[in-house]
Structure 1
Amino acid sequence: MDVIQFLRTLYRYLPLLILLPIVTVLITYVFVRNMEGEYRARSVISSGIIESQSAPGTDARINRDQIAFRYANFMELINSRPVISLVSFSLLRHDLQNPGRGFRPDTPEFEDLTPTARASLIDSLTYYIDSTQPLDLTEGYGLTVYNLMVAKGYEPEAVTNRSRIQRLGQSDYIQILVESENPRLSAFIANELADLFIKFYRFRQNQLLGVNIDFYLEQVRLREIQLDERSRRLQNFKVANSITNLYEQTKAIAVQVSDFEYLRQMETRTYRGAESLIDSLDVVLTDNSGRDFTEGRQAALNAQVAASRRQMSELNRRRVNAVIRGEMALADELEQQVAELRDLLHVSVSNMNTQAIADPRVAREQLITQRMLLALDREQARQALIYIDRELQRLANLTREFARLEAIQDTYVREIDLAERDYLSMLDRLNQFRLTQQQTINSGAQVEQIERAMPPRDPLPSKKILIILVAGAGSFGFALVSVFVIEYFDLTIKTARQLANALEKPVFGIIPGLEDDELDIPAMFAQSSSNLTIKATLSLVRHLRSNTLPYTEGRRLIISSTQPKTGKTFLSILLSYALAQTSRKVLLVDANMLSNKLTQTFQSEPALERYLRGEISLDEAVSPTTHENIFVLGCDISNLTINEIAPKAQVERAFEQLIEGYDSVIIDSTMLVKHNNTRELLPFADSIILAFAAGEVVNGLDRELVVELNEAPISFEGCILNKVELNQIEDVYGELNKKRSYPRRVFKQIIRGNIKGAFRFKRAADQID
């Protein structure tokens, strides 16, 4: 919507835009004309926020936004419901303590109070004010108090509406402004609000600090208990598993394993060497028959040697353990015992050799002795290997057990570490809160009233005019918004462009809406008129004639509609007169058998039905008119359709004869809905044009009919928009030559962007049009 269209829209709603603000201003004036003067009292308190930030030990890096945030919270607390309720209690107590001398006249509710009830009410209000305790004002005793406050206008909502809290620039001071009809009341509210807020603020700070410090102390105590519990669990675990230092114990086991591995290698080497030598001696000491010459050994000596071997194995085991533990003195003593036992075994073996049955041919005492000693060494090495393997297995099991214990110990240590960090963190929070507590106490001590309110002498300037102007401007804005809403939801067609966009078909022309005294079509074409509407209509009709000429020259044109009361009959007559003015012979066919207005207008003979049935000829059926080039073929009113009057072939021949004696044939038919006559006429005509009326809505049915005509066996050319407002035709007709004042002409030229032409005076040559 361009500016001109917007201004035209506003002009259409000009009564609403003027009357609504006027009515609103009058109503507002009636309400505010007796409004009393207002008195403003001012009280100032110091918040102590900036001073507390500059105290020693505080962080000086707090930015301006944080300070502004704290001030906003501070002012909201002043204006909070608990503080305002205390002020309401104080106001009510004042009037109860001073009967007849209150800030406002006593109401029947106050006059009905007995002295006892009055005194009890004063004591209760004093208690709530001194203790800063809230009172439920919605039921019981609280509801009674609230009703008394409402009777006097002292309820918290009223006090809030009359109070305004502001910070004085970037300073540490906050002012309280109170406005009322009584100067003493304004000063009282301002002072009471400051005093009761300071009292409430200090009480609240002390209460919150006490609750918070107890919370932090309890949290520190719980975390300390948790840390002690986890430390005790680790201690019990070490005691239960004999753990002193897992790392050193594991390291000692690794050393023992290394030593045992070394001893195992040495004993394995000894065992294998002795076994190899014994195998060699067995070959020498055995004859060809395989009989051993040591069969003469005695059983007693054998038992003695076996016992000595077992004793030597035990001593070797104890010597190895002593060496591993580093007890070298014990190891040397055990080594000496082993040597003595070895000498004893040598003696026993010698005795066995002496008593043995030897081959008389060969002396083998030395070989036998050597074999017995080698067998003793092999047995000693085998026993040592068994013991070493057993110890290695024990150490491996011990290593796996230590790994399991170390994993459990690490879990306990991690839990203790987490508990310790949590404990230290909460302890740090406690210390930080104690520091903040001290700062808050200092800040609360700095909150004080530095300027008490005094009853003002003069009232404020009257706000009556301002209220009236605001009411008028608000109502005008509301009316303007209403116009926008109405236009936004208004889907009616007003211009040819809107119709073309809605139907996606061309609009051949527009016809302004005419009054009853302007509907004389012959006079419109016969004589010139100074009437702006008639002049515009005549020009637009000629424009329509030029646009529709290709579809009317030697053709049969149907003018129909999709909605009622679009003026299609009037358009048919208007178009026929426009064509007749160019010396074309025009035949008007009234095919609207539901309402034969065309026949009635020209008072012609209703002969269409008889002509279609072939009862009369075309010349006999046609009636002349007052215009020599316009002829009418009238019809009678009936419920029949074209195909019901005569067979289709006969109707087709009848319509083909219509064009033979005329330059143009215009057929005024019925609507496309509610009657089928127009659909039956489509095969007998050459083209069709739909008529629409401005101010109507193009709905879904209209679009479906347009689609149907696009697919029908006829040329659907476009539309005509009828009954257009005169202000909406400038897009097609051009600017209307209205009689406007000079300021209006200048304003319109400026709106159109013609700044230079707006201030140009008419020259003599411009007067000739």
Structure 2
Amino acid sequence: MELGNFFKLLWKHKNLLIIIPLVTIIVSYFLVKNLADKYISSAQIATGIVDESRHLLDADPTGAAKEQSINHEFSNLIEIMKLKTLVNQVSYQLILHDLTDSVPFKPQSKLFASMNPAARKHAVELFTDKFNKRQPLSYYNKDENGLNELLRSMKYDERSLRKDLYINRDEDSDFITVSYESGNPQLSAFVVNVLCKEFIDYYTHTVRQNETDAVNYLAKLLDEKRRALNTKTQQLQDYKIKNGIINLDEQSKSIFDQIMIFNDRKQQAEKDVASYDGAIQKINNKFDPGERKYIEATISKYNQDVINSQDQLHLLTDRYVRSGFNPKLKPAIDSLSGKLTAQINQTSDKYITSPLTAKDDLVKQKLTLEVTRDLAKYSIKAITGSLNQLNAKFNRLVPFDANVKTYNYDIDIASKEYLDVLNKYNQTNLQSTFSIKLRQAEAATPDAAEPSKKMLLIILGGMVSFAFCVIVLFGIFFFDDTIKEPRDLVNRTHLPLLGHLNTVMGSLDLKKLWDVEHRDKMKLFKELIRSIRFEIDQELRGEKVLGITSLANHEGKTVLAISLAYSYSMINKKVLLIDGNFINPTISNTVQPKVYVEDYFKNNPDNYEPFSNTTNVMGNHGGDVTLLEVSDENFIRSRFNELKTKYDIIIIETPPLSSLNKSKEWLLFANKTIAIYEANKGIAKWQKDDINFLRNLNGKFAGWVLNKTDPKKDRF
């Protein structure tokens, strides 16, 4: 429904929505008909960022280039092209062209035309110097600031050029497009080509300088790392020479292997000694003491040869152990062992045992076991000595090993640093050779004029003006809190509604209204009065006093009161109309009544005159007076009771509620109260208290009458 109201508002102002866009279109036509044609020239710069054919030597084997990184590179290039330094270079070239060429790009400005030959020569020299040095003009230098003014007057300054300069990447391609729009095709092409050339030169110089600095720094760092690596290597070599270290790992491994072998031999020898002692003890246990004494006495003369052989075998075994069990000494040990065995067997061949016993083999075994045990015991001593020597050698290698590992660790770190710097140096050196990939793939050339946008601008102007009008009307509609329809009044006040009245222009002749048929508005007004009269009868229910009030002055109380009085008279009702509005006694001034409120309600028996039945209007003299100031409440109530016996309906027009007690005193004596409200007005904050008063009348408030509504919205 709200949207429908908005469309009704638009229809109401349809002339405005037609006239304003039409005027805008006409004005736009005269403004754009003399616009000059526009010429756009474009050039393309190949960057080589995404062109794989230009990355054959410096391509990333991992394919780590990402779309985001590529976008950053293109954004960086575009921002470099927009640098004020480069745009200033274009400005200098443009002004130098116009100063030196017979056919300038633009018509001369007043400042340009006022320059004499000396001033032009000086300007050419200064602009040329600034161009070669890529320096901006100073605003604090009077001479250079004058040249700035010259650029601005010709629209060659940096801000003016930026307005029509467009630089962007062609979608996901490798190209950057540079475009410029102006009224001269030669000028557009010149600006684009100069900017591209200056950008490529600037970028090439900057990148070359940065790469050269990087390569020189890495070369210096590489030389330092090489010297550090050589120093660490030389220190390790000097330490090995000084301490006689050839191959520390092999030496320590060899000694450790020998220690393991000697430990195994020692354990075996100790095991043999234990087993031989046990075997000898068992043999001894088989001889009684007398036999052992005899045997020892008999073989004593043969022990000397065995002992000599044993000593030789001990010496040879010691040499064998100290040589690390050299296999060359093994045959000699075996030969001497055989000789010793033969000597022991010779002792057993003699009859040295007691003839009472046959224990030759036991004696032989005992002698053999004793010799073997003695050899094992002696080898343990030799092995233990060799182990001590090997452990001493191994312990001497531990500090050497720690120092050598420290040197090796330092060399590894220095070598890694050297290789990292070397790789970085080679990579940077290679990239510096192929890093400059920018080239102008396509030069800008003068082109034909762009399609005219004059008609588009005219249509756009009309559409914008129409949209602006709609927006303004919508704002008015949205922020409009006035009451236009009866339901708006009910929703805002939460009080009932009796009816509404349409707007009637001119004076209202009630007699003619009921006598003859008038135009539609008058007919509608009469029907609405009848409807309100019916609703009032339903509310009064036999009561006779009706009070009519409003929130403010000039709401239409007088018209409603007179119309209701006349309407009741048309149905043969005796009607009394009381003008209770002392502030604005319109009824009294219009009708010129014979009886006045101040006279009738005044409690003065001397001046009492009976009220005539023929009187239907009671006026007032006006002034700053209230009803209760005329007489007391009880007397006034008695007077109203007297009037009720004479009239069928008593209508009181009271002052507005804004007059405070002047209106409320009249409403004390009314059986029902109605309030009239003028449409197209909002409810002010101070009127909310008056609405609360009506709401608290305890059922005496009959309802609202909305006045001056739009007749087109009324339906029957």
Matches within 5 A, 1:181-196: 181-196=183-198
Q: Which runs of 5+ in 1 are unaligned?
A: 222-419, 624-630, 735-769
Other-structure match for 1:543: 531
Query: Which ranges of 4 or more aligned residues in structure 1 deviate by more than 6 Å?
Result: 210-221, 427-434
Secondary structure of the residue aligned to 1:185 is helix
Shift of 1:6: 0.8
| Cα deviation 1:139-168 (Å, max 9, x = unaligned) | 644432221112112122222222223433
- Residue 635 to residue 93, structure 1, CA distance change in 2 (3 Å): same
Shift of 1:511: 1.6
TM-score, normalised with respect to structure 2: 0.65
**Paired amino acid for 1:652:** R
- Residue 639 to residue 38, structure 1, CA distance change in 2 (3 Å): same
Does the 8 Å contact 1:589/1:633 carry over to 2?
yes
Q: Does 1:521 align with 2:498?
A: no
Aligned residue-pair number: 525
Q: Does 1:460 align with 2:450?
A: yes
> What is the rounded CA distance, in whole Å, between the counterparts of 2:581 and 2:8 in structure 1?
38
Other-structure match for 2:158: 156
Does the 8 Å contact 1:560/1:672 carry over to 2?
yes
Other-structure match for 2:667: 682
Q: Does 1:45 align with 2:45?
A: yes
Other-structure match for 2:648: 663
- Which moves more between the two structures, 585-594 or 571-580? 571-580
Matches within 5 A, 1:45-444: 45-51=45-51, 56-57=59-60, 60-98=63-101, 100-137=102-139, 140-206=142-208, 442=434
Shift of 1:5: 0.4
Q: 2:441 aligns with which of 442, 445, 450?
A: 450
Shift of 1:651: 0.9
- Residue 606 to residue 207, structure 1, CA distance change in 2 (3 Å): farther
Other-structure match for 1:485: 475
Other-structure match for 2:461: 471
Matches within 5 A, 1:634-653: 634-653=619-638
| Cα deviation 1:361-384 (Å, max 9, x = unaligned) | xxxxxxxxxxxxxxxxxxxxxxxx
Other-structure match for 2:233: none
Does the 8 Å contact 2:540/2:671 carry over to 1?
no
> What is the rounded CA distance, in whole Å, between the counterparts of 2:425 and 2:568 in structure 1?
99
Q: Does 1:18 align with 2:18?
A: yes
| Cα deviation 1:262-303 (Å, max 9, x = unaligned) | xxxxxxxxxxxxxxxxxxxxxxxxxxxxxxxxxxxxxxxxxx
- Residue 198 to residue 9, structure 1, CA distance change in 2 (3 Å): same
Shift of 1:669: 0.9
Does the 8 Å contact 1:683/1:713 carry over to 2?
no
Secondary structure of the residue aligned to 2:666 is helix
Q: 2:576 aligns with which of 587, 601, 606?
A: 587
* RMSD of aligned alpha carbons: 3.9
Does the 8 Å contact 2:6/2:474 carry over to 1?
no
Does the 8 Å contact 1:622/1:633 carry over to 2?
no
Shift of 1:32: 1.9
Secondary structure of the residue aligned to 1:574 is helix
Other-structure match for 1:758: none
Secondary structure of the residue aligned to 2:658 is coil
- Residue 128 to residue 539, structure 1, CA distance change in 2 (3 Å): farther
Does the 8 Å contact 1:599/1:606 carry over to 2?
no
Shift of 1:702: 0.6
Q: Does 1:612 align with 2:601?
A: yes
Does the 8 Å contact 1:605/1:635 carry over to 2?
no
**Paired amino acid for 2:120:** R
Does the 8 Å contact 1:46/1:173 carry over to 2?
yes
> What is the rounded CA distance, in whole Å, between the counterparts of 2:421 and 2:547 in structure 1?
93
Secondary structure of the residue aligned to 2:646 is coil
**Paired amino acid for 2:612:** E
Shift of 1:215: 10
- Residue 636 to residue 95, structure 1, CA distance change in 2 (3 Å): same
Secondary structure of the residue aligned to 1:515 is coil
**Paired amino acid for 2:710:** E
- Residue 521 to residue 210, structure 1, CA distance change in 2 (3 Å): farther
**Paired amino acid for 1:677:** K
Secondary structure of the residue aligned to 1:494 is coil
> What is the rounded CA distance, in whole Å, between the counterparts of 2:32 and 2:709 in structure 1?
46
- Residue 174 to residue 703, structure 1, CA distance change in 2 (3 Å): same
- Residue 216 to residue 452, structure 1, CA distance change in 2 (3 Å): same
**Paired amino acid for 1:547:** E
> What is the rounded CA distance, in whole Å, between the counterparts of 2:420 and 2:614 in structure 1?
113
Other-structure match for 2:243: none
- Residue 22 to residue 165, structure 1, CA distance change in 2 (3 Å): same
**Paired amino acid for 1:521:** L
**Paired amino acid for 1:83:** L
Other-structure match for 1:699: 684
> What is the rounded CA distance, in whole Å, between the counterparts of 1:431 and 1:717 in structure 2?
100
Does the 8 Å contact 2:137/2:145 carry over to 1?
no
Does the 8 Å contact 1:43/1:176 carry over to 2?
yes
> What is the rounded CA distance, in whole Å, between the counterparts of 2:666 and 2:67 in structure 1?
84
> What is the rounded CA distance, in whole Å, between the counterparts of 1:680 and 1:433 in structure 2?
105
Other-structure match for 1:287: none
> What is the rounded CA distance, in whole Å, between the counterparts of 2:84 and 2:574 in structure 1?
90
Does the 8 Å contact 1:579/1:586 carry over to 2?
yes
- Residue 530 to residue 524, structure 1, CA distance change in 2 (3 Å): same
- Residue 435 to residue 602, structure 1, CA distance change in 2 (3 Å): farther
| Cα deviation 1:593-650 (Å, max 9, x = unaligned) | 2222223444432422221126455642863xxxxxxx32222223221111122211
| Cα deviation 1:226-267 (Å, max 9, x = unaligned) | xxxxxxxxxxxxxxxxxxxxxxxxxxxxxxxxxxxxxxxxxx
**Paired amino acid for 2:441:** I
> What is the rounded CA distance, in whole Å, between the counterparts of 1:216 and 1:726 in structure 2?
93
Does the 8 Å contact 1:587/1:664 carry over to 2?
yes
Secondary structure of the residue aligned to 1:49 is coil
Higher alpha-carbon Rg: 2
> What is the rounded CA distance, in whole Å, between the counterparts of 2:573 and 2:425 in structure 1?
105
Shift of 1:69: 4.8
- Residue 565 to residue 112, structure 1, CA distance change in 2 (3 Å): same
Secondary structure of the residue aligned to 2:180 is strand
**Paired amino acid for 1:571:** L
**Paired amino acid for 1:147:** E
> What is the rounded CA distance, in whole Å, between the counterparts of 1:41 and 1:57 in structure 2?
36
Shift of 1:433: 11
Secondary structure of the residue aligned to 1:449 is strand
Matches within 5 A, 1:21-40: 21-40=21-40
Secondary structure of the residue aligned to 2:181 is strand
**Paired amino acid for 2:702:** E
Does the 8 Å contact 2:495/2:695 carry over to 1?
no
Other-structure match for 1:567: 556
Shift of 1:678: 0.9
**Paired amino acid for 2:42:** R
Q: Does 1:501 align with 2:491?
A: yes
**Paired amino acid for 2:585:** N
> What is the rounded CA distance, in whole Å, between the counterparts of 2:628 and 2:535 in structure 1?
32
Secondary structure of the residue aligned to 1:566 is coil
- Residue 655 to residue 19, structure 1, CA distance change in 2 (3 Å): same
Does the 8 Å contact 1:551/1:557 carry over to 2?
no
Secondary structure of the residue aligned to 1:510 is strand
Q: Which runs of 5+ in 2 are unaligned?
A: 224-411
Does the 8 Å contact 1:511/1:537 carry over to 2?
yes
TM-score, normalised with respect to structure 1: 0.61
Shift of 1:72: 4.1
Does the 8 Å contact 2:211/2:428 carry over to 1?
no
- Residue 599 to residue 447, structure 1, CA distance change in 2 (3 Å): same
- Residue 9 to residue 69, structure 1, CA distance change in 2 (3 Å): farther
